[in-house]
Amino acid sequence: MKLFSRLYTHVMQWSKHKYASYWLALVSFTESSCFLIPPDVMLAPMSLAKPHKAWFYAALTTITSVLGGLLGYLIGSFAFDMIQPWLVSLNYMHAYELAESWFEQWGFWAIFLAGFTPIPYKIFTIASGALGMALIPFIIGSMIGRGLRFFLVAGLMRLGGEQLESKLHLWIDRIGWVTVLLVGIAYLFLR
């Protein structure tokens, strides 16, 4: 079944659209406080489609992601009681409690790790505000963590260029189905 290769073709076409940068900025901003789709999903194909703009896309993603993180920080500071039911309904409360314990143990390093890894960054931005983390270390940790992550993604795509794009097109269906299988196994195992 060629589901992923058709999706890949569409994503590559969308990544070349004249408004793609605006959508990337919007996804990056909202993902840091409430949206569920990580910006890497747009950043990677956009950097692959236009390698000469990869650093621009990485910088745009980093800046808008940190600005969105500041929104998450403000939500945590001033509206945590209002969003707590949302965290519970999306099964993020355990992640929030984990974020709390990480902040108590590691402070700055917790936001740095959340910015760099696939851990839900939005939970850490909200927890930072709710727990009253100092704003300057929050911004610095976010800039470094998010910047490293997004520049790494953009750099790998830029380095791979057209050769990587053609290989991905050949392998994308296999990669997609293996990923679905691994996610399913992880879900069953962790459940």
109 lies in some domain: yes
Q: Is residue 27 included in any domain, yes or no? A: yes
Look at residue 18 and tell me if it is in a domain: yes
Residue 156 burial (10 A CB sphere; 0-12, 13-18, 19+): middle
CB atoms within 10 A of CB 36: 9
Identify which of 18, 120, 108 has the alpha carbon closest to the alpha carbon of residue 65: 120
∠ CA 24-94-114 to the nearest 5 degrees? 40
Q: What is the pLDDT of residues 36-60, one digit of tens each?
A: 778 888 888 888 888 889 999 999 9
Specify if 117 maps to a domain. yes
Q: 107 or 5: whose pLDDT is higher? A: 107
| 189 domain residue, yes or no | no
- Which element (helix H / strand E) includes 72? helix 54-78
What global pTM score does this model have? 0.77
Look at residue 8 in the predicted model and tell me its pLDDT.
59
Can you tell me which residue has the tokens 């997609």? 176
Give me the domain span that covers residue 122: 9-161
* Count of structural domains, the chain: 1
Output the six-digit token pair for 160: 């791979």
pLDDT bin (cut points 50, 70, 90) of residue 141 is very high
Model confidence over 101-121: pLDDT tens digits?
A: 887 788 788 888 888 877 778
CB 58 within 8 A of CB 43: yes
Please state, rounded to an integer, the average pLDDT across all residues of the chain: 82
What are 10-29's pLDDT values in tens digits?
A: 666 666 778 888 988 988 99
